[in-house]
Amino acid sequence: MASYLFRRLLLTIPVLLGVATLVFSLIHLVPGDPVQAMLGDSASPQDVADLRGRLGLNRPLLTQYGSFLKDVARGDLGTSLRTNQPVTSAILERLPATFELGLAAMVLAVFFAIPMGILAAVKAGTRVDYAATTVSLLGISIPNFWLGPLLAILFSVTLGWLPVSGSGTLAHLVLPAITLGAPLSALLARMTRASVIEELREPYVLAARARGVSQIRAVLRHAFRNSLIPIVTVLGLQIGAVLTGAIITETIFAWPGVGRLLIQSINFRDYPLVQGCVLLIAITYVTMNLLTDLVYGLLDPRIRYE
């Protein structure tokens, strides 16, 4: 197990380095002069030169890359061009809101998906199953940038039950959490259905039923418990989708998280902040994938790194 952990951790290093390199490259992909693009056409040559010096863009590329990596390792992501605030603290201010939204979305997704997936598996091939499968396919097909406005039209504009945007109360959290959680819920329901169906065919479940164990107990105590490993894995791997979904959801509902900060910084061409937000989301994604793999390895002793 120790060697599995070590090798898995070791494999993460080139991935993190690659992520940092991609983020570093972003500013150099800007067509023309990135500093001119940030300041606009009306900026004076002196301002352009000053900012180029401040960002270190007048140094050789390799030197820039080296100091970028060193700064990232120290947690220094530069300074926002618009607010002059350190990028790290700007992101840290917004991070709790994104985590709150992501967590609420995942809790909602699990709450709806698992009963629906189990029901569809137990009733496989019936109308209940077809209805659950269609609902989950709809959940995957309806993009969150449409679901969010639709929910706002229904629950905020027409019924007046919930606020259309903003944050601060539980009521503000409901629509963004449903918008972000719906596709995850749909995917989890499909996964739960497939896993439980597979487990229900296993001899140990049939043996339990033959011993007189009730169907509900056989499903919940036996089949579902063994289906949990792939379900937990999908949940872990979907954290990345939740993080990127948060970019859109936060923009729709004016939720003050990192996703909205990213879009605002793109609109203001605040590239240090763009780089910081992208790096943070990508590193969170890589870390969650790593943790999912490690938990998977712990849960199922058959899984070992080859």
Partner 1 sequence: MLTVGSTIVGAAALAAIVGPWLAPFDPSAQELPLRLAGPMRGHPFGLDELGRDILARVLTGARISFAVGLTVVSVSASVGTLVGAVAGYLGGAIDDVLSRVIDILMAFPGLLLAIALVAALGPSLANVLLALTAIGWVGYARLVRGQVLRAREFEYVQAARALGAGTSRVLWRHVVPTALPAVVVQATLGMAAAIIGEAALSFLGLGVQPPTPSWGSMLNGGRAHLLDAPHLTIVPGLAIALLVLGLNFVGDGLRDLTDPKQR
Q: How far is the CB of 266 from partner 1 (least distance, A)?
A: 4
Q: Which residues bind partner 1 (CB under 8 A)?
A: 11, 14-15, 18-19, 22-23, 26-27, 29-31, 137-138, 140-143, 145-146, 149-150, 152-153, 156-157, 164, 240-241, 243-244, 247-248, 251-252, 262-263, 266-267, 271, 274, 278, 281-282, 285-286, 289
Identity of the residue, 188 or 262, whose beta carbon is nearer to partner 1 in the bound complex: 262
Q: Measure the CA–CA gap between 51 and 177, rounded to whole angstroms.
A: 40
Q: How far is the CB of 42 from partner 1 (least distance, A)?
A: 18
* Residue of 266, 246, 245 lying closest to 256 (CA atoms): 246
Q: How far is the CB of 198 from partner 1 (least distance, A)?
A: 10
Q: How far is the CB of 174 from partner 1 (least distance, A)?
A: 16
Identity of the residue, 173 or 243, whose beta carbon is nearer to partner 1 in the bound complex: 243
Identity of the residue, 20 or 108, whose beta carbon is nearer to partner 1 in the bound complex: 20
Q: How far is the CB of 279 from partner 1 (least distance, A)?
A: 10
Q: How far is the CB of 24 from partner 1 (least distance, A)?
A: 11
- Cβ atoms within 10 Å, residue 302: 5
Q: Which token pair is 101?
A: 């939204």
Q: Measure the CA–CA gap between 106 and 101, rounded to whole angstroms.
A: 9
Identity of the residue, 150 or 291, whose beta carbon is nearer to partner 1 in the bound complex: 150
* Residue of 100, 270, 77 lying closest to 181 (CA atoms): 100
Q: Which residues is 86 bridged to in the sheet?
A: 79
Q: Which token pair is 57?
A: 């863009």
Residue 43 burial (10 A CB sphere; 0-12, 13-18, 19+): middle
CB 225, CB 299: distance < 8 Å:
no
Long-range contacts of residues 21-25, Cβ cutoff 8 Å, at least 24 apart: 21/65, 22/282, 23/275, 23/278, 23/279, 23/282, 24/64, 24/65, 24/68, 24/69, 24/275
Identity of the residue, 139 or 219, whose beta carbon is nearer to partner 1 in the bound complex: 139
Identity of the residue, 48 or 263, whose beta carbon is nearer to partner 1 in the bound complex: 263
Q: How far is the CB of 149 from partner 1 (least distance, A)?
A: 5
What letter would DSSP give residue 305?
-
CB 271, CB 83: distance < 8 Å:
no
Tokens 């993460």 map to which residue? Answer: 12
Identity of the residue, 105 or 282, whose beta carbon is nearer to partner 1 in the bound complex: 282
Q: How far is the CB of 221 from partner 1 (least distance, A)?
A: 27
Identity of the residue, 31 or 60, whose beta carbon is nearer to partner 1 in the bound complex: 31
Q: Measure the CA–CA gap between 234 and 213, rounded to whole angstroms.
A: 29
Q: Which token pair is 234?
A: 């999908």
